[in-house]
Amino acid sequence: MTDKIKIAIIGGTGALGAGLALRWARAGHAVTIGSRDGARAKEIAGELSAKAGAEIAGLENAEAAAQGDIVAVTVPYASHAATLETIRPHLDGKILIDVTVPLMPPKVRTVQLPEGGSVAKAVQQILGENVRVVSAFQNVAAAHLADLDHAIDCDVLVCGNDPEARNQVVALATDAGMKAWHAGRIDNSAVAEALTSALIFINGQYKIPGAGIRITGDPAPAQS
């Protein structure tokens, strides 16, 4: 496990955020989930703590972001922009993990990337270089994350402009029971964001309960 990290999960009462909270708390990290409703965050945090066997705190989104050394945003695309503005004052100097997929109901099986190329790229441009934005976890089924007895058969693509920030997110993916890969600069987040719609289509077409991706091939040994 990596050293204990204070992680705030914005939108942590939703399925994806709650799944990440469970796995990071069980791995020994100090996890706080956020919600627009602080009381609901506390209620869900209590339920998640019992399931994880580790304490998870619950606060209103801005308060949660202030607590975290690393902040993960797991809200639906429709509320992403407003949520980002709420927590923005608390992100200076931090790593922001953006898990957002630009799904636009009812056509969630069709790729609909935003103007500019991707959600995460736009976030990096909005927040500036003093916030290290890393895109990850878009292609992992929330149901698999929530099942702590389930070995997650899905790799994670990690994109961001700062290699050390990517390293930290790769390590957090390992702590949560997943294999992660450096996948380039934040511009490449478009691949993971678009892939989610294709996976949703595959789930429906073949009745798969949470299709994922796997990177094939073995990395070359590190040079000494």
Integer Cα distance of 2 and 5 in angstroms: 8
Instruction: Name the nearest CA neighbour of 123 among 158, 155, 83, 163.
Output: 83
Per-residue exposure over 127-139, b if at least 16 CB sit within 10 Å of its own CB, e if not: beeebbbbbbbbb
Banded model confidence at residue 103, pLDDT cuts 50, 70, 90: very high
- The model's confidence at residue 121, banded by pLDDT at 50, 70 and 90, is very high
Q: What is the pLDDT of residue 82?
A: 97
- In 3-state terms, what secondary structure has residue 83? helix
pLDDT reported for residue 1: 67
Instruction: Give the whole-number percent of the chain exceeding pLDDT 70.
Output: 99
pTM: 0.96
Q: What is the pLDDT of residues 155-172, one digit of tens each?
A: 999 999 999 999 999 999
pLDDT attached to residue 95: 98
19 near 171, Cβ under 8 Å?
A: no
How open is the CA angle 160-164-165, to the nearest 5 degrees?
50
- Quote the pLDDT of residue 101: 95
- Greatest extent of the chain over all pairs of C-alpha atoms, in Å: 52
